[in-house]
Amino acid sequence: MFAPRFAGRGRRVLLATAAALTGFVVVTSATPPLATAAAASVEQAPAVQLGRWSEAVGRALLAEIAASADEGLDPADYRQDALADELQRTGGGETFDRLADAAALKLAHDYLLGTVENKAAYDWHIDRTDGDPSRLAMQLRQAVATGQVQPWLRSLLPQDPRYAGLRRAYAETPDANFVLRGRLRANMERWRWMPRDLGRDHIYVNVPSYTLQVVENGRAVAEHVVVVGARATPTPAIGYPAQSVVLNPWWTPPKSIKVSGKGFVNDGGALRQPPGPRNALGRVKIDLPNPHAIYLHDTPSKQFFAKESRAYSHGCIRVQGADRLAAELVKLDTGSDAAVTAGLKSYATQTVKLHAPRPVWLVYFTADVGADGKLRLLEDPYNRDTRLLAALEKPVQMAMR
């Protein structure tokens, strides 16, 4: 660690302090040989760590704070200048420890969970259980003690190649192109909201792309065109497991949808639409129980699949080829799609439970990176980018511990 050198009496005080911290006994007598021997002992001792953060680990933190700009974040949010000045002035100590702890925990939080706290304001309802502050504090203490602060912080960032692609595009976009850089920042922030493990087998719907992907063993094995929620009834960002495939489902309209009653059955005061050619859910419903009453389903209104912009539903995901999707899911789950083929030969309602529930992720990214590594700029059907970018631009007041 850097330790300033002083002459005369100040130097003797520093040597005595250093010796006490390192276990050396320094004789401060005026006798030249003893003083020379004591000074030689201290000069040969290891550098003194004034606080828990050594100078080297402190500089590694500063390097990572500077690198946060590559993630679309602002290094000033982590008191970069105050940290650098304190480290330069003192080489460490209690004040630097406090500054470094606060900065590192703030950066860890933002890397892991994003900077925006109220994600529900953007209709984002994907719960995370890995952001416990005490757990982060414990990991930070261990990283400081082992000199691994920078690798630990980087491990908190999304490892998905789509995030890496956005980061790469952000680095390649000139500062003058602030519109594109803003869109990339907003979508990198959304990726930090995502769970780090989506599951090897899952269903992935990026609302602005109007597509659904079936992912098996980490690879997309099927893709379907979809219709998503209209602007007045947007599809929320959620993550729940698909638990069953319902063939020829009944439909119970939510209170937000008014129906005439024609073609419906009064079931204890609730109107329900029986299976049939005009059923609003079509022939198939992929059930993923959730408090938002959102699911995947077929539709008799096939004409909307031909449109380029496909935000027309009441929030649920209408799937083109929903019968094929049902067969794909059941075959991946059981090895055979015979139950789906047989069930669709009539209009009798049947439920095929999945042995292994498959996570379904409904997300919102207006900039995406395909399997080919190329950046794709998509619609922003719910006009969320501008508001999110404005939140990212607000100056952050970092709390001190």
- The CATH number that applies at residue 321 is 2.40.440.10
Residue 68 DSSP label: G
Whether residues 36 and 55 fall in one domain: no
At residue 398 the predicted structure's pLDDT band, cuts being 50, 70 and 90, is low
First to last CA, the chain: 24
Decide if 164 is inside a domain: yes
Tokens representing 304 are 């909307």
Whether residues 36 and 132 fall in one domain: no
Residue 194 DSSP label: S
Whether residues 319 and 336 fall in one domain: yes
Whether residues 173 and 275 fall in one domain: no
At residue 8 the predicted structure's pLDDT band, cuts being 50, 70 and 90, is very low
Number of structural domains in the chain = 3
Whether residues 300 and 347 fall in one domain: yes
pLDDT at 14 over 90: no
Decide if 80 is inside a domain: yes
pLDDT at 16 over 90: no
Decide if 218 is inside a domain: yes
The catalytic residues are 297, 316
Q: CB count, 10 Å around CB of 325?
A: 24
What element of type H or E holds 146? helix 133-146
- Give the integer Cα–Cα distance in Å for 252 and 274: 9
What element of type H or E holds 102? helix 94-113
Backbone angles phi, psi at 376, to 5 degrees: -125, 125
pLDDT at 32 over 70: no
Lowest-pLDDT choice from 215-219, 358-362, 396-400:
396-400
Among candidates 71, 74, 63, 75, which has minimal Cα distance to 168? Answer: 71
Whether residues 130 and 147 fall in one domain: yes
Decide if 327 is inside a domain: yes
Whether residues 304 and 399 fall in one domain: no
In the three-class reduction of DSSP (H, G, I as helix; E, B as strand; rest coil), residue 391 is classed as helix
Whether residues 231 and 300 fall in one domain: yes
Q: CB count, 10 Å around CB of 229?
A: 23
- Are 314 and 298 in contact by the 8 Å Cβ rule? The answer is no
Q: What is the mean pLDDT of residues 17-27?
A: 34
**228-251 per-position pLDDT tens digit:** 999 999 999 999 999 999 999 999
Q: Kindly list the distances between the CA atom of residue 364 and the CA atoms of 190, 194, 268, 298, 380, in Å, as whole numbers in the listed order.
A: 8, 11, 38, 21, 9
Decide if 369 is inside a domain: no
Whether residues 192 and 209 fall in one domain: no
Tokens representing 155 are 């491990």
Whether residues 324 and 244 fall in one domain: yes
Residue 273 DSSP label: B
Whether residues 207 and 307 fall in one domain: yes
- Give the integer Cα–Cα distance in Å for 380 and 365: 8
The whole domain housing 217 covers: 202-363
**237-295 per-position pLDDT tens digit:** 999 999 999 999 999 988 878 888 788 998 888 899 999 999 999 999 999 999 999 99
Decide if 58 is inside a domain: yes
Decide if 53 is inside a domain: yes
Whether residues 22 and 58 fall in one domain: no
